[in-house]
Chains A and B, each alone.
Chain A
């Protein structure tokens, strides 16, 4: 292989440093030269961040030590997301990182539960999910690797401070030779021949050239949009929230091993417990509430004392028409925005990075700038699929509601939804069948959690379940409930586990970062 590829990353938030860390780790220094340009004058969006279990694959792939990461980022464990007040005021359900029961005779467990439920059984499907039962009791332990053990039926993720996460990854990347430059980009030069990015001019006067430019500049898309005019596909008609207010507050009460998303009058409020404080935010639609009112509502609904004044954010739900255009790949908010309702922000960054690593060919490395359009097209199709599938899942939360108390919910309840989602919902309502796919986020248990949680209640189930005697089904269900509650009773509390596993350095409350 000839000269190493020159990778220039624009922006140093979560996306920028995840990209830098991954490329530095996967490709040895003989094969790449990585520069990251960030301006210490431009703040990063990083707020309290909640992740999905897939991040553990990312950590393993690039060699990040999980305990160290957790200790350095004030992290807590996450077993799922609690949704409050979504289908009706007063409702609460958890979307867990794990399955409900296990398949019996090749048929999904939920069909057995449904048969009993429709016949009057009053147990909640949540009682058959270990991560839900553990989350409700604020307990945590690592899963077992023995597939016969009920403790193997769940996964976990992290809730951490995004600024500390970026700082941690920066250390990781710099140790592996990533060169960081503090500067502002004042000009982008395009090549006459093919319109690809030639170089970046910094405020210091320096001109930075490269082969591959990764745009992690955030929502504005400095390279992908402002320079290359790639275009954006907007999804506001389905996902009307376009603003957020974010504010940290003091912790109070036990540390919950889950994130909470509470539906509000014009959107929803997140609550992410970290070891040293709590991250909060109100995601709302500017058509239904003013910024001032949203900020006031948010501050009035915190668990503890606010540690800063609310910080406003603006966005438009959707994705870039191509996230890889010429020699620019947009990762993070530059590539698209889906509200953090299901903690997909970091996940979509991760998918963009690992897919890019998977698709980069040695030929691209040998012929700088000469990216094969066949590869680029395949990458873009893949990312479109990822975004579109997450989109449908998010819309489900808004659309499947019975709330009539505010204009936002009336709009969402009545809005036309994508055909792909309408088909999925109709099939589930008729017979509890979940449309599944091979690639892309959210497997059957996730869809089940949200369908049931949002009161999309099927009228039928797999007919084969009826051939099993009722007493046998009842006994099987009872056994799952018992095994689950027994296992949870043996788990330590979340706080006990954190104290032993990954205690973070104490932070004075006044020094908390936003």
Chain B
């Protein structure tokens, strides 16, 4: 067994409890001692968030029953994100959690849509996607394996209330054996080697451990002390650094969809919860002050319930997220605006990578080096995916947008756009979260042009009969028509879920 048996997780939000729970599930017999130290005021103020489908895998690993989790957190399903106005007023595209069409003789179906675009015919990927079509029609059903390949051609994730989700994960982690420290973090002391010697709690008691995991959010209260390495600043590409978020009373749009709306200094969003709607305004304080941004949110959604809360972040990542006996997971490591909904996903990768590389003893320099290498690749790829939404397509007017367009692209993104632009090809990096299909949704949705197709693809497409394409679309329509509405699905699930006491 590892000599690392006492682990302290510092943090108050979902990332901290997710980390604590996951470490307890990963290491059993003997179970490590996992102590969670509250970092108090660093708790994220956002009202809620949307997640990526990978969260379902994490829930399964933690033994979280989905209907129970959804009931406790007022969660709804998410099949897609709808982006409005990013490529100019009136523009709209969908990014659904699922395949586009069915693989045709080894060829991904989106290649057909590329060829339609090249021929000057508009082709919307959602017409060929179960998740996309269901999202458009406000429908929902879980994917299921069946003789019909299409019924398992998609996946889904969730919208949930931030505080309720944090509380839920906390309760779950405690059930799994995580202990909450008796008092919040007061300060951190280092030893001569620069590693963490101990934490001191607000009640004066010291806390020692073999490994410290910093989930304290942007304040990075542990890793910020241990690591002297500079942070990489992404604000030139991603200038948004604030978010107002609030709730509005009625669930007025119950589609399983997150909607975003490009604005003058950022973007608005709206997402459903079971009993209400969440709205937010993500903006750059360089281009709009907080008071004005709040007013524009009010104009976007007049019927707000309660006071909007302000969350601040600074896009970028720490160059060294594991140093000595301290590993940073979550916003203490990487800060990224919520567009891709990938915060917890990245935290999850951080946890899984930590488990894979879990050190045997306190000499962990090589593990740290590998961890830092991998996490940098994942984080940079997520930055690129997020930034591509701003960069691609016709520019919106205004200083905010033109400042973004003036930036040189990160090298990997430039290479990706070049290759796609020349040939419609999408190559993935060794370590990145979004897949070929996700990039296809983005490229096709934004109308990013591919000037040509691979010759080989063209020859294969010549064998695809128009009737097959029509049949596919009809089949998807029929399948989606037979699904219940998202609202009905939620009500039915809630009625069938016992209100278990904790």
Contact = CB atoms under 8 A, between A and B. Distances in A.
A383 to B, nearest CB: 13
B502 interface: no
Contacts of A368: none
Interface of B: 1-2, 4, 26-30, 355-360, 366-367, 369-370, 373, 415, 418-419, 421-423, 425, 427-431, 451-456, 458-459
Nearest to B358: A463
A333 B473 CA distance: 49
A364 B452 contact: yes
Given A463-B360, A464-B27, A438 B430 contact: yes
Contacts of B30: 467
Q: In terms of DSSP, what is the predominant structure of the interface of chain A?
A: helix
Nearest to B31: A467
Interface string A350-366: 00000001111111110
A82 to B, nearest CB: 31
Contacts of B429: 438
A229 interface: no
Given A372-B422, A423-B370, A27 B455 contact: yes
Contacts of B369: 423, 427
B455 A31 contact: yes
A360 B455 contact: yes
Given A360-B456, A463-B358, A463-B360, A381 B367 contact: no
A28 interface: yes
Contacts of A439: 430
Given A378-B415, A426-B366, A372 B357 contact: no
A467 B29 contact: yes
Contact of B454 (A360, A381, A423): A360
Given A361-B454, A430-B366, A466-B1, 14 more contacts: A359-B454, A360-B456, A362-B453, A364-B452, A372-B451, A374-B418, A374-B419, A374-B422, A375-B419, A423-B369, A426-B366, A431-B359, A438-B428, A466-B2
A493 interface: no
Contacts of B4: 463
A462 B454 CA distance: 44
Nearest to B28: A467
A430 B1 CA distance: 15
Interface residues of A, number: 38
Nearest to B27: A464
B423 A377 contact: no
Interface string A375-386: 101100110000
A435 interface: yes
B419 A460 contact: no
Interface string A491-504: 00000000000000
A433 interface: yes
A26 interface: yes
14 contacts: A372-B422, A372-B423, A374-B418, A375-B422, A375-B423, A378-B418, A378-B422, A423-B369, A423-B373, A427-B367, A427-B370, A430-B366, A439-B430, A467-B29
A374 B366 CA distance: 37
A466 B4 CA distance: 13
A467 B370 CA distance: 24
Nearest to A376: B422
Interface of A: 1, 26-28, 31, 357-365, 372, 374-375, 377-378, 381-382, 423, 426-427, 430-431, 433, 435, 437-439, 460, 462-464, 466-468
Most A C-beta atoms less than 10 A away, residue of B30, B415, B455: B455
Most A C-beta atoms less than 10 A away, residue of B357, B366, B367, B415: B366
A427 B365 CA distance: 10
Nearest to A460: B360
A77 to B, nearest CB: 27
Contacts of B427: 378, 382
B454 A358 contact: yes
Nearest to B370: A427
A1 to B, nearest CB: 8
Given A359-B425, A467-B29, A378 B419 contact: yes
Most B C-beta atoms less than 10 A away, residue of A26, A423, A430: A430
Contacts of A437: 430
A372 B452 contact: yes
Contacts of B458: 1, 362
A26 B456 contact: yes
A425 to B, nearest CB: 10
B454 A362 contact: yes
A359 B358 CA distance: 40
A28 B460 CA distance: 12
A421 B252 CA distance: 57
Contacts of B422: 361, 372, 374-375, 378
A460 B364 CA distance: 12
A377 B358 CA distance: 39
A345 B305 CA distance: 68
| 4 nearest CB pairs, A to B | A363-B452, A374-B422, A361-B452, A374-B418
A431 B351 CA distance: 18
Contacts of A359: 423, 425, 454
A377 B456 CA distance: 19
Contacts of B27: 463-464, 467
A117 to B, nearest CB: 16
B384 to A, nearest CB: 16
B415 A377 contact: yes
A435 B369 CA distance: 12
A358 B1 CA distance: 48
Contacts of B421: 374
A433 B452 contact: no
Contacts of A430: 366-367
Given A378-B427, A430-B367, A466-B1, A361 B455 contact: yes
Contacts of B358: 462-464
Contact of A463 (B2, B370, B373, B456): B2
Contacts of B367: 427, 430-431
A364 B455 contact: yes
B299 to A, nearest CB: 43
A377 B418 contact: yes
Contacts of A365: 455
A384 to B, nearest CB: 12
A506 B1 CA distance: 60
B484 to A, nearest CB: 35
Contacts of A460: 360
B177 to A, nearest CB: 15
A468 B1 CA distance: 10
A31 B458 CA distance: 11
Most B C-beta atoms less than 10 A away, residue of A363, A423, A439, A466: A363
Contacts of B428: 438
Nearest to B2: A463
B452 A467 contact: no
B1 A433 contact: no
Contact of B425 (A357, A378, A427, A433): A378
B416 to A, nearest CB: 9
A364 B422 CA distance: 10
